[in-house]
Structure 1
Amino acid sequence: MLVWLGFHRAAYPLEAGLKGVGIDPTESVAWKRLQRIFPGIGREFMPPLDEGSLLAMPSLLPSASLTEVQQVIAQQDRAMLTVPEVASVVGKFGRSESALDPAPISMIETIILLKPESQWRRVRQDRWHSDVGWLGWAKPGLNYFWPEERPMTKAEVLKELEEKTAIPGVLPTWLQPIQTRIVMLQSGFRAMMGVKIYGSDPREIERVGLQIEQILKKVPGATDVVADRIIGKPYVQYEIDRVAAARYGVSIRDIQDVIEVAIGGENLTTTVEGRERYPVRVRYPRELRERFDDLERILVPTSDGAHIPIAQVAKVRYTVGPQELKSENGLLVGYVTLNTRDRDEVSVVEDAERLLREEKRRSDELIAAGRHEEATLVVPPGYYWEWGGQFENQRRAMERLSWLVPVVLLAMAVMIYLGLGKWWLAFIVFFGILASASGGFVLLIWWGANLSVAVWVGFIALFGVADDVSVVMLSFLEDKFKERSPKSVEEVREMVTEAALNRVRPLLMTTATSVIGLMPIFLSQGRGSDVMQPMAIPMVGGMAVQIITFLLAPCLYSL
């Protein structure tokens, strides 16, 4: 349980009880040491699949112009191509004329295709014999088993790309192309997970989001923390003077049409040239609308046929407003997105939510004491946040597995009882399953894998195979004891020992064939191995400790 859940979760009832009587055990040295020794196994929905490429989605501030975004994407593309592991780079910004692609101008998407790993650079790795001078004569042999060079990892390539593309004012987000599309379709985020802040005022949502962004940067494992910059987009606003418009005999509709066509442009028709079609768009030439002063000299036709500057019937103002507005559940919403590396998603979300709750409680106490300037997370009444992301798939899967795994074990227990005819023999079989499961958890810790749906599928398969050893051993013992009834304890032990020795060889062969059959999956390194290996880890670890079951079943039976 400690290996699986970790000391923090396993000892939570004890921690809550001690805190209830005024004792905080988390401050003790022994408690902190146990938390470091037993951190628990991470949780995720599915192991990340290595797609062989990366997707960079940096965001600029809303006030960034089209020209500035173009300069940034060109600068980042050139920097990415300087990394030797990069094969090609393709970037785009803006969106198509479709409501299905609501990407603002300030959002960049760049796909980085990587070269095969066999062409990646090799980096030095210090070994125990690296600085031992008198072992120079044995270096060729030692380097064969403990090489001092290793291939560069994808995490190191990503770190180098982050360093070379870092630009002040550009907020980075790094994922993989397919992974990003799936997450965006599921949650709307451009990252693995995020916080949705609901409210009615976009300025308040942005303020709360920026506060949450600073807090989430403190969470271990959280990277690419970016809050939506909602306000800050520059706009040119025309305020029509209705009295002046009536004096010149100009309708409101005429003024709005002039603004729309002269500045924004309008498609009048479409030319057809073979299989190609091109829209014909009309508007003022750039030199007549490039400067702010030029916008006041746009001509508006009056009722008598004369043309007057638009400044005589409208005031031109420069304002700052929201870049985009998103709504869910009848409220406006803003996002604070983040990714995680070197840590599982569920643990990051749990720690982040705990930290946000603590900061909100602390801020509420400071506000009640009149110390508003010290509050770090001020959430107005009617505003709240929710978590979303691909970790929600893991929670839904765990809810289903929470009843599916017990049902599988119960069905196994019923079948064992029907086969052996004694209920206490089923308990002996389940002791062997428990020992095999322990071996699977130990190998998960050693391998550094997280608990995912693929891992639980491997455990379910392990439960079905692990009971074979105990069932074969117990059925053979039952047959022996039916043939001859023992007269003493010593005779019982002799019969159990004899029966166990007769079954060891076939059981070892069964276990060996199972482990050898899983080795191609367990040791594979190609595409797709990221998902297949976690399924084989519990099987290999559980079957590797089956020798304990060889001893456990006869010993428990003799009791």
Structure 2
Amino acid sequence: FPGVGKEFMPALNEGSFLLMPTSIFPGVGKEFMPALNEGSFLLMPTSMPHVGIEASKKTLQQLDIAVTAIPEVEVSVGKLGRIESALDPAPISMYENIINYKPKYILDGDGQPIAFKVDKNNRFILKSGDTLSNEEAIYKKVSQENLIEDEDGEYYRNWREHIKNPDDIWDEIVKATNIPGVTSAPKLQPIETRLVMLQTGMRAPMGIKVYGPNLQIIQEFGLQLEGLLKEVPSVKAEAVFADRTVGKPYLEIEIDRNAIARYGLSIEDVQKTMETAIGGMEITTTVEGRERFPVRVRYPQELRDDPESIKKILVPTKSGAQIPLGELAKLNYVRGPQMIKSEDTFLVGYVLFDKRDGFAEVNVVNDAQNYLQKKIDSGELKVPAGVSYKFSGNYENQVRAVKRLAIVVPISLVLIFLLLYFQFKTIIASSIHFSGVFVAFSGGFIMIWLYSQPWFMNFSLSGENMRDLFQMHTINLSVAVWVGFIALFGIATDDGVLMGTYIHDVFEKRNPKTVSEVRDAVMEAGSKRVRPAMMTAAVAIIALLPVLSSTGKGADIMVPMAIPIFGGMVIQIMTIFVVPVLQAIWRENVVKKSQSPELLQEDNSNEVQ
């Protein structure tokens, strides 16, 4: 096949035989599962670790305002920091903005687009009598209440003309949130992100976990990886970000032991005063009905909100004197970790990154792994002593899925062959009909390849582009695609079995003794089963058209599953001709071996004539 870069080899290291692609099929990458369209995005940028609460609140407001200003966005709600729970370890420098965007068209309760009244120029007529083009109505934020429903009208498009799909909306969000001091963020969706975070702990679909003996070394090595990952062509450079583990400013109060000794104070006395004045001390509990509230005593905020005020905190001595804290301790600003993460008893830091459009997750991770390894081999990247790293993310699910598929796919093929053997009772006949599986397998891959070609089905009917109607784009090899192939294997032999069964019946009735009789029998059986075989294939092919053009919930999974089935069923129609030919060759050889030399010579003369 021209341009094919994948080779097929047995996955021996998995303990079973499976024909799996090992390099790059043209236009096809590898991923775990296609992303489901949740109708919303999760924007998770970060700022520097030394940012304060006031600055973070201002940045969060700027993000919400910038995102909400995009016409396609319905609502944006952001948060910073975390609740007092270990289940949400997020510093105040990390923001989470849930962004719900509008559907492509105004929809009714059943999810169907609604048509509205337009004039001769296709301008929407408002209830006020004004007319607006679709683009003007979007910018003026015209709602459904202002439009007049009309079955013969036009659908109102919520997206601007240049916005073709949700990816374009995400690009608009990235442009709008390009705020100084705030990093970019990988493309995420709320549910998808929660699953990724539960699996890997990272807030990105892919990343590198750096393990080391201390946080400073982890951060320095992570910054080196960040710079190198930006050079990988398939990695989105603006989304690469290494955790700034160290850099959070801390106010350190260093008690002077000699100074407190002169006033007869102990370390405990000073610390207890600081705890009460700054943090507060619970002195009692108030009971109000069934509710109980702790009562704390501490300095008012204006007396503890800056280092100079803290120096004036009075520490009582045994003699009754009140000594300012500034005379008993030194106040210093020091840099420390904003967050400490650990895995497998090691301290860990993350380097997050995302893929560019048109690349699959597994391929991006492989590219990054190979690039970093080259840098290590050349000496440009040196891994410090005690430091190790590993890639993590959704691609790990793909690795586990491949191991399972290496068992499931061969088992399904063996079962199909056994069913054929139970039907035809011979290895040769079963192999002839089993050949339809390999024909369909190639057809599935050809259809996947065609989907990635911009010229395929690039024409319009009734004003609708066929590529848009069938949502044609690059299809990556995922679990959904392989499930489609397994389903294809089960139905790919239908036409061959239909043809072969009737051929066997004809041979049992006529019992041909010569080559010419064999051919006549095959021609008779084949000609009578062409129409039923075509109908069998047509039913499966036509039934898949609504699935291939579906856009509702679950279509992101169903379409990749249906593509190999559709392509395989289309090309396996040739088994209508292949199976009779193979049957004729097999039967002729059987007849020739059983014929006498005189009859064999007569058959040969008839063939020459």
Deviation of 1:151 after TM superposition, in Å, equals: 5.4
> Is the alpha carbon distance of 1:151 and 1:157 closer, same or farther for their aligned partners in structure 2, counting shifts above 3 Å?
closer
Q: State the match for 2:512 in structure 1.
A: 486
Q: State the match for 1:415 in structure 2.
A: 419
Deviation of 1:537 after TM superposition, in Å, equals: 1.3
> How far apart, in 2, do the equivalents of 1:230 and 1:2 lie?
49
> Is the alpha carbon distance of 1:266 and 1:336 closer, same or farther for their aligned partners in structure 2, counting shifts above 3 Å?
farther
Q: Would you say 1:329 and 2:316 are equivalent positions?
A: no
Which SS does the other structure have where 2:492 is aligned? Answer: helix
CA contact under 8 A between 2:196 and 2:394: conserved in structure 1? yes
Q: Which of 526, 549, 556 lines up with 2:552 in the alignment?
A: 526
Which SS does the other structure have where 2:224 is aligned? Answer: helix
> How far apart, in 1, do the equivalents of 2:73 and 2:168 lie?
13
**Sequence identity, in percent?**
47
Q: State the match for 2:206 in structure 1.
A: 193
CA contact under 8 A between 2:207 and 2:350: conserved in structure 1? yes
> Is the alpha carbon distance of 1:513 and 1:350 closer, same or farther for their aligned partners in structure 2, counting shifts above 3 Å?
same
CA contact under 8 A between 1:41 and 1:445: conserved in structure 2? yes
> How far apart, in 1, do the equivalents of 2:568 and 2:295 lie?
70
CA contact under 8 A between 1:2 and 1:10: conserved in structure 2? no
Which SS does the other structure have where 1:222 is aligned? Answer: coil
Q: State the match for 1:471 in structure 2.
A: 497
Deviation of 1:471 after TM superposition, in Å, equals: 1.4
Q: State the match for 1:314 in structure 2.
A: 329
What is the aligned length?
Answer: 497
Q: State the match for 2:98 in structure 1.
A: 111
Which SS does the other structure have where 1:175 is aligned? Answer: coil
Q: Which of 330, 352, 365 lines up with 1:349 in the alignment?
A: 365
- TM-score (structure 1 length as normaliser): 0.84
> How far apart, in 2, do the equivalents of 1:8 and 1:362 lie?
28
- Once the two structures are superposed, residues 448-480 of structure 1 have per-residue CA deviations (whole angstroms, 9 ceiling, x without a partner) of 211111111111111111111111211211222
User: Which piece of structure 1 moves more, 393-402 or 436-445?
Assistant: 436-445
CA contact under 8 A between 1:227 and 1:337: conserved in structure 2? yes
Q: State the match for 1:89 in structure 2.
A: 76
- Once the two structures are superposed, residues 196-227 of structure 1 have per-residue CA deviations (whole angstroms, 9 ceiling, x without a partner) of 00001211111111111111122233232111
CA contact under 8 A between 1:2 and 1:40: conserved in structure 2? no
Q: Which of 483, 506, 517 lines up with 1:457 in the alignment?
A: 483
Q: State the match for 1:537 in structure 2.
A: 563
CA contact under 8 A between 1:7 and 1:40: conserved in structure 2? no
For structure 1, which runs of at least 5 residues remain unmatched after alignment? 12-34, 124-147, 364-374
> How far apart, in 2, do the equivalents of 1:532 and 1:117 lie?
20
Deviation of 1:70 after TM superposition, in Å, equals: 0.8
Q: State the match for 1:298 in structure 2.
A: 313
Q: State the match for 1:205 in structure 2.
A: 218
CA contact under 8 A between 1:197 and 1:334: conserved in structure 2? yes
Q: State the match for 1:359 in structure 2.
A: 375
Which SS does the other structure have where 2:265 is aligned? Answer: coil
> How far apart, in 2, do the equivalents of 1:418 and 1:9 lie?
33
> Is the alpha carbon distance of 1:79 and 1:42 closer, same or farther for their aligned partners in structure 2, counting shifts above 3 Å?
same
Q: What amino acid is aligned across from residue 549 of structure 1 in structure 2?
A: T
Deviation of 1:155 after TM superposition, in Å, equals: 1.1
Q: What amino acid is aligned across from residue 188 of structure 2 in structure 1?
A: L
- Once the two structures are superposed, residues 102-141 of structure 1 have per-residue CA deviations (whole angstroms, 9 ceiling, x without a partner) of 1101000010111111159989xxxxxxxxxxxxxxxxxx
> Is the alpha carbon distance of 1:163 and 1:543 closer, same or farther for their aligned partners in structure 2, counting shifts above 3 Å?
same
Deviation of 1:487 after TM superposition, in Å, equals: 4.0
Deviation of 1:283 after TM superposition, in Å, equals: 2.8
CA contact under 8 A between 1:194 and 1:389: conserved in structure 2? yes
Matches within 5 A, 1:368-387: 375=380, 377-387=381-391
Q: Would you say 1:262 and 2:249 are equivalent positions?
A: no
- Once the two structures are superposed, residues 241-270 of structure 1 have per-residue CA deviations (whole angstroms, 9 ceiling, x without a partner) of 223223322221222222233223445556
Q: State the match for 1:44 in structure 2.
A: 31
Deviation of 1:433 after TM superposition, in Å, equals: 0.9
Instruction: Give the aligned CA root-mean-square deviation in angstroms.
Output: 2.4
Q: State the match for 1:396 in structure 2.
A: 400
Max Rg structure: 2
Matches within 5 A, 1:116-131: 116-118=103-105
> Is the alpha carbon distance of 1:522 and 1:90 closer, same or farther for their aligned partners in structure 2, counting shifts above 3 Å?
same
User: Comparing both structures, which one devotes a greater share of its residues to helix?
Assistant: 1
Q: What amino acid is aligned across from residue 378 of structure 1 in structure 2?
A: K
Which SS does the other structure have where 1:89 is aligned? Answer: strand
User: Which piece of structure 1 moves more, 251-260 or 345-354?
Assistant: 251-260
Q: Would you say 1:229 and 2:244 are equivalent positions?
A: yes
> How far apart, in 2, do the equivalents of 1:354 and 1:329 lie?
25
Deviation of 1:313 after TM superposition, in Å, equals: 2.2
> How far apart, in 1, do the equivalents of 2:285 and 2:2 lie?
70
Deviation of 1:402 after TM superposition, in Å, equals: 0.3
> How far apart, in 2, do the equivalents of 1:71 and 1:299 lie?
35
Q: State the match for 1:7 in structure 2.
A: 5
> Is the alpha carbon distance of 1:270 and 1:39 closer, same or farther for their aligned partners in structure 2, counting shifts above 3 Å?
farther
Q: What amino acid is aligned across from residue 218 of structure 2 in structure 1?
A: I
Aligned structure 1 segments of 4 or more residues deviating by more than 4 angstroms: 8-11, 119-123, 148-151, 266-281
CA contact under 8 A between 1:43 and 1:452: conserved in structure 2? yes
Q: State the match for 1:169 in structure 2.
A: 181
> How far apart, in 1, do the equivalents of 2:286 and 2:564 lie?
64
User: Which piece of structure 1 moves more, 463-472 or 84-93?
Assistant: 463-472
Which SS does the other structure have where 1:395 is aligned? Answer: helix
> Is the alpha carbon distance of 1:309 and 1:431 closer, same or farther for their aligned partners in structure 2, counting shifts above 3 Å?
same
> How far apart, in 2, do the equivalents of 1:116 and 1:473 lie?
48
Which SS does the other structure have where 1:351 is aligned? Answer: helix
Q: What amino acid is aligned across from residue 43 of structure 2 in structure 1?
A: A
Q: What amino acid is aligned across from residue 204 of structure 1 in structure 2?
A: I
CA contact under 8 A between 1:41 and 1:450: conserved in structure 2? yes
CA contact under 8 A between 1:58 and 1:109: conserved in structure 2? yes
CA contact under 8 A between 2:494 and 2:536: conserved in structure 1? no
CA contact under 8 A between 2:281 and 2:298: conserved in structure 1? yes
Matches within 5 A, 1:235-274: 235-266=250-281, 268=283
> How far apart, in 2, do the equivalents of 1:472 and 1:328 lie?
58
Q: What amino acid is aligned across from residue 234 of structure 2 in structure 1?
A: G
> How far apart, in 2, do the equivalents of 1:385 and 1:2 lie?
39
> How far apart, in 2, do the equivalents of 1:456 and 1:248 lie?
78
> How far apart, in 2, do the equivalents of 1:156 and 1:122 lie?
18
> Is the alpha carbon distance of 1:53 and 1:272 closer, same or farther for their aligned partners in structure 2, counting shifts above 3 Å?
farther
> Is the alpha carbon distance of 1:272 and 1:45 closer, same or farther for their aligned partners in structure 2, counting shifts above 3 Å?
farther
For structure 2, which runs of at least 5 residues remain unmatched after alignment? 10-22, 108-132, 136-159, 452-473, 586-609
CA contact under 8 A between 1:122 and 1:152: conserved in structure 2? no
Q: Which of 420, 423, 445 lines up with 1:441 in the alignment?
A: 445
CA contact under 8 A between 1:301 and 1:308: conserved in structure 2? yes
> How far apart, in 2, do the equivalents of 1:214 and 1:438 lie?
41
Q: State the match for 2:44 in structure 1.
A: 57
> Is the alpha carbon distance of 1:107 and 1:552 closer, same or farther for their aligned partners in structure 2, counting shifts above 3 Å?
same
Deviation of 1:332 after TM superposition, in Å, equals: 0.7
Q: What amino acid is aligned across from residue 396 of structure 2 in structure 1?
A: E
Which SS does the other structure have where 1:118 is aligned? Answer: coil
> How far apart, in 2, do the equivalents of 1:438 and 1:541 lie?
9
CA contact under 8 A between 1:92 and 1:110: conserved in structure 2? yes
CA contact under 8 A between 2:420 and 2:434: conserved in structure 1? no
CA contact under 8 A between 1:260 and 1:266: conserved in structure 2? yes
> Is the alpha carbon distance of 1:250 and 1:85 closer, same or farther for their aligned partners in structure 2, counting shifts above 3 Å?
same
> How far apart, in 1, do the equivalents of 2:367 and 2:292 lie?
54
CA contact under 8 A between 1:85 and 1:119: conserved in structure 2? no
